[in-house]
Chains A and B, each alone.
Chain A
Amino acid sequence: MTMLENRPTTNAKLNSKVPSGALSEKWDTFKANAKLVNPNNKRKFKVIVVGTGLAGASAAATLAELGYQVDAFTFHDSPRRAHSIAAQGGINAAKNYQGDGDSVSRLFTDTIKGGDFRSREANVYRLAQVSVNIIDQMVAQGVPFAREYGGLLDNRSFGGAQVSRTFYARGQTGQQLLLGAYQQLSRQIGLGGVRLFNRCELVDIVVIDGRAAGIVTRDLLTGQVTSHAAHAVVLATGGYGNVYFLSTNAMNCNVTAAWRAHRRGAYFANPCYTQIHPTCIPQADETQSKLTLMSESLRNDGRVWVPKNADETRPAHQIPEAERDYFLERLYPSYGNLAPRDISSRAAKRLVDKGQGVGPLKNGVYLDFSAAIARLGRNVVEERYGNLFEMYERIAGENPYDVPMRIYPATHYTMGGLWVDYELQTTIPGLYAAGEANFSDLGANRLGASALMQGLADGYFVLPYTISNGLAPLLNKSVPGVDHPEFKRVEAEARSRYEGYINVKGTRSPDYFHRELGKIIWDYCGMERDRNGLEKAISEIPALYDEFKKDLRVTGTGEGMNQTLEKAGRVDDFFQLGMLMCKDALAREESAGGHFRVEYQTDEGEAQRDDENFCHVAAWEWTGDANEATRHAEELSFETLQLATRSYK
């Protein structure tokens, strides 16, 4: 491919609809001018919310409180099980409760810089603005955030920031936030404002006359395929990190909802922006089904090192200080062990690739707490990280109070997702995307503790305003119902897709294909990418995908619970997404945040952006084949910040 072919086309559908005016006034301007639906009319509108994680639960609860009829869908047995539950470290907010110089504009600046200047400025500013409301709302819901002895809220610092603005509930922040949102949603379910469809998976989106008219679902208990019509549809269905097979995501996280929307006309933005988290427990053996994250907050007190000598055989505590390489402290003196995720991850990878890794498979680096235990006492360390230490011991079979943890980067979060405008609306009118499912305010790399913030910002404080603005013009207009032929057509397509998986009757399970696909994507579109590798992936994936279509084996039937069949549908969509990721990574001839192209790096090995040619969002349009998608661009401009090279030295 030549540079010329890479040049994106601009497209009228990519109107970001950012309000005019000064950055700090845009959101107020939007709210002041947004169309409203009067309270009595709200119940005439039905809104479908797919997903009950932080973004979905907060949106569904709030929309129902406002008076809309809400139908909420989740493939989980209970809304409380969404993957948000697993977030450990914390949530950012510009409260400046510590009086250490934080402010909305500093959180904004950190997030833009952390995202390597590849996010939309206006969205990020709004995110920083509403961050303060999130903490108020969650405390009112009874979230037991950590407190100081005087009873006020405690904060910690997180990678990529020089202030303490992260709120946390032990190592279970995501759990406590999700339970808060789940309880608020449950109240609405009890009151009848929300109808809950659990163990029910979205398998397609229905678009009629250019507008989202509803969704088609598959009931996981009965296999029944059903249509649901609505005035607006929100996808809050999480990220696609499981395309790598091994990731820190929960086993059932998948891209199906976003991918099916993409196939119906929603542009998919920046699929190659994926985040690798530096502190996960390394893979132990070949049966490994997922990787476990150790919260980044551990880097507040843990020191990362490897032995200087690649042939080192002594246990960690016998290696003298002089023979250890505390490489993050050495390379990035001002941020040290708190350097951002992508930077820390690559630093670890390079040393492991050089043979300096630790552990039986030499596939990790040490995260050592002995200095913290000596300085603070074991009690304080236990208070801060007790449950994380226990978790580590259960998995790795070693006690981190006595021996350093072993960690290695793993896929963790996906910044890419459905392209949305300032109103979180996709390129399909009436279809919105929130939380990790959208292409996010977090640019090419997200800082720690900002995904929870973004999910709750979208659901609590953005969507309720923007959806009203979208629905008001539809008042008293009729919308297509589920008896419309298009619903029937999409339903029939979905049925035959699932029957198709069963009818292949080949020899390999969906998991087999998922693992193989994951290996290709990890090797060529993981922590570091280059042209050769990406071209290789782009030729290997279709071959494997063909094999999937010919040699898949799904046992059991389509009626009733069949987890193998569910998995087949999800892996099918991961294949197509995988191709698009590699295509996107190849087309982006620069390095930015989590997208590190080996060809584009500074002499010191840092990511080298190309602001002249790539200061844009890549938004892909489906053309019938993931390998033939069309690339469009939304140009990014920065009014208040100077485009600068990220430096954490």
Chain B
Amino acid sequence: MSHTLSNLTVKVWRQDGPNAVGRFETHVIESITDEASFLEMLDVLNERLISQGKEAVVFDHDCREGICGTCSLMINGQAHGPQRATTTCQLHMRSFKSNDTIVIEPWRAGAFPIVKDLMVNRSAFDRIVESGGYITSPTGGAPDANLIPVPKPVADAAMDSAACIGCGACVAACPNGAANLFVGAKIAHLNLLPQGQAERYRRAEAMVDTMDEHFGSCTNHGECSAACPKEISLDVIALMNKDYRSAKFKNRKELSRN
């Protein structure tokens, strides 16, 4: 059954542009149904701002069903808010109580500069994938799909890692702004599969090196996995580190052979 929440204080980060100075702006939401999603609460706020002739709060969102990875809010200091394994867009007002104060900030990380208000630029993730997060397989040359059997446990483990939505909560939650969980997830997805073996070590080296150009370094806090809406396991980081170490060795050998 639905309930109505009243008197919510919303403190939202406003920042006009990447180099502008930001500030918190406080609004009171007098009443809202707890069936509303968190972003619908922001929609209501934005409608009100527009009707007052003010600029709407900028925030990233698209699918609103937890799969596109676009939404990205720090809610009361937690990436994607209080609910376990839940993106911001899937969070509902049921998670809050009347009279609560809700502090909303953008992801804060050196590699994710603020675009405006709550929106950040996460293109550094794309740069990492471009450097090696793929299996080279140009269109047209693929063999029959069932020629490459993949044991079910392997396919399942690859799928667990491939479930990453590229939201960046792991980076935002990390005290060092490291991207190891995101990169580990992609490396695990591809390096576990038989199709990914040919480029396994090249991929690990290229992706980790590109990651290091943009992001901070991992000191094993584990905050990333706790914040991850897709519950990507810390094991992917161990696999990435192992493959990276082997890569340094194997790739050097390969280079010396050429």
Contact = CB atoms under 8 A, between A and B. Distances in A.
Interface of A: 58, 61-62, 65, 76-81, 83, 85-86, 95, 97, 133, 135-142, 144-153, 169-170, 172, 175-176, 179, 182-184, 186-187, 189-190, 196, 198, 221, 250-252, 284-285, 287-290, 292-293, 360, 390-391, 394-395, 397, 460-461, 464, 507, 509, 511-512, 553, 555-556, 560-564
Nearest to B86: A394
Interface string B121-132: 111011001111
Given A285-B36, A394-B86, A553 B189 contact: no
A138 B162 CA distance: 14
B135 A144 contact: no
Contact of A80 (B54, B69, B85, B135): B69
Contact of B56 (A83, A95, A187, A564): A564
Contacts of A186: 126, 129-130, 133-134
Interface stretch (B39-47, B212-220, B240-248): B39-47
B13 to A, nearest CB: 14
Given A65-B139, A511-B43, A81 B65 contact: no
B63 A86 contact: yes
The 7 residue pairs across chains A and B that have the minimum distance between CB atoms: A151-B149, A190-B130, A183-B134, A140-B142, A140-B137, A136-B142, A139-B145
Contacts of B226: none
Interface residues of B, number: 85
A292 B67 CA distance: 12
A32 to B, nearest CB: 16
B166 interface: yes
A147 B152 contact: yes
Residue among B94, B162, B189 with max Cβ neighbours from chain A (10 Å): B162
Interface in B117-172: 119, 121-123, 125-126, 129-146, 148-152, 155-156, 158-159, 162-163, 165-166
B189 A144 contact: yes
B55 interface: yes
Contacts of A252: 62
Contacts of A97: 146
Contacts of A553: 50-51, 53
17 contacts: A77-B122, A79-B126, A85-B68, A86-B63, A95-B145, A135-B145, A141-B137, A141-B195, A142-B189, A144-B150, A146-B155, A172-B67, A198-B126, A390-B85, A509-B50, A512-B47, A562-B58
Contacts of A76: 62, 70
User: Is chain B's binding surface mostly helix, strand, loop or mixed?
Assistant: loop
B68 A77 contact: no
Given A86-B65, A250-B62, A62 B123 contact: no
Interface string B70-102: 100000000000010110001010100000000
A81 B92 contact: no
Nearest to A62: B139
B40 A251 contact: no
B40 A288 contact: yes
A72 to B, nearest CB: 12
A556 B64 CA distance: 25
B92 A394 contact: yes
B133 A169 contact: no
A360 B130 contact: no
Contact of A555 (B50, B165, B189): B50
